[in-house]
Amino acid sequence: MIGTFRRIVILSAALGLLVWASAPNAAVAQQKPLRIGLLIPVSGVFAAPGKYMQEGLELYLSQHNNTLAGRKIEVVLADDQGNPAVGVTKTRELVEQDHIDLLYGPLSAAVGVAIVPYLDQHKVATIFPIVSADDLSQRTPSAYVARTGWTSSQPTQVLGDYAYKTLNYRKVATIAYDFNFGWESIAGFVASFQADGGKITKQIWTPLVTPDYSSFLSAIPTDVDAVMCSFSGAAAINFIRQYRQFGLKPPLICQGNTTDESTLQETGPGATGIVTALQYSAALTTPANRAFVAAYSKAYGHEPSYYGEATYTGAQFLDKALQKTHGEIGDPAAFIKVVRSIAIPDAPRGPVKLDSYGTPVENIYIRNVVKQGDQLQNAVTKTYPNVTQFWTFDPKQFLAHPVYSRTYPPCNACSG
């Protein structure tokens, strides 16, 4: 099915929505359009949040007449399926066959890590509005990538501290899917929770596609204060439902994608009461977010998710950078430096700027799933302002340690 989406142009429509056509429009402005390769999962386990990524970019472009800094925008969509090997192939096609000027996406941290060597080799200007793999802006930054979203461990380091100091948890077990996003998001929680004095008594890893979690749920110890989890997309829906059906008593505290708005309503009442941390919630009451939610809901018939906000805000970074360069990308590495110089004081998520490593400094919100009317929402209960990727750790000491992984930091009370 992705073949029908291979070459598309975004055009503004009468009601502010977008039409994704099958071939370029001959009636564009005389200046050559700027071609953006949108690499997202249209199919596979991450298809639902991938759709929100598409919507966020669509909305921003529709609000700007499909023109940034005087340049008409042409978007070429490619389906990476959430698969690193497919992501590399699709990136190559976008660059070598479609001749894009800039790559935008992907979603999966694993796909992001996989395509960086190609981006470096071929000098492709790239914006990662979602990809959160920690080391891409720590020990192994790319001169051709601007990350406008976050790192995997950025919100969970906050959550670990909150769990210990505010929720007064002392013993926690963790469960997450077994690839680098799961490892890093869990590791951030483990690092700060253990630094505060907490104990991690068990760590459980599940395959990316796991229809039946029963064998993993049966391994969760019952004598813990809480279970920390990290899932997203269809995996989050299945995990939460089966956790509740299994009758486990420890409360769930999770990485924020687990209750993302893209899947929250489908997850159902079992999500109620789950505490998470993330840099966005559709329930934020700031004027900027209220306007964004209203426009997004009008355009698509549902609230935005983190994925929609991230691609919308990433487009703000792109727009402001193009304004500085008069609509030209030119030298890719130089353009990425311009993107990294941008600060946005009123993004839907709140103020955001990039640090010297090229990663956002932004608010992290503690959220609690509640029912508001007939809808579930991530109600914000606490705001941690201006959080960096290093949390309260010293950056030099942080970078001297191994990258967060499946085995680092080691859990301090695991018995096997």
Which is it for strands 199-206 and 171-177: parallel, antiparallel or unpaired? parallel
* DSSP conformational letter for 92: H
pLDDT(169) > 80: yes
Q: What are the pLDDT digits (tens) for 78-104? A: 999 999 999 999 999 999 999 999 999
* Domain co-membership, 131 together with 80: yes
pLDDT at 416: 60
- Whole-number mean pLDDT of the chain? 92
Q: What are the pLDDT digits (tens) for 7-26? A: 444 433 322 333 333 334 43
Confidence of residue 30 (pLDDT cuts 50, 70, 90): low
Query: What is the domain-level CATH number for residue 382?
Result: 3.40.50.2300
* Domain co-membership, 356 together with 380: no
> Mean per-residue pLDDT for 347-376?
96
The full length of the chain comes to 416
> Mean per-residue pLDDT for 302-308?
96
User: Is the whole-model pTM more than 0.85?
Assistant: yes
pLDDT at 45: 85
One-letter-per-residue 3-state SS of 268-293: CHHHCCCEEEECCCCCCCCHHHHHHH
User: Is-cis flag, bond preceding 129, omega within 30?
Assistant: no
* Domain co-membership, 257 together with 119: no
> Mean per-residue pLDDT for 309-327?
98
Confidence of residue 31 (pLDDT cuts 50, 70, 90): confident
Domain boundary among 362, 378, 411: 362
Give the residues across from 145 on adjacent strands. Answer: 126
* Domain co-membership, 215 together with 305: no
Q: Which helix (DSSP H) or strand (DSSP E) does residue 11 occupy? A: strand 10-12
* Domain co-membership, 132 together with 161: no
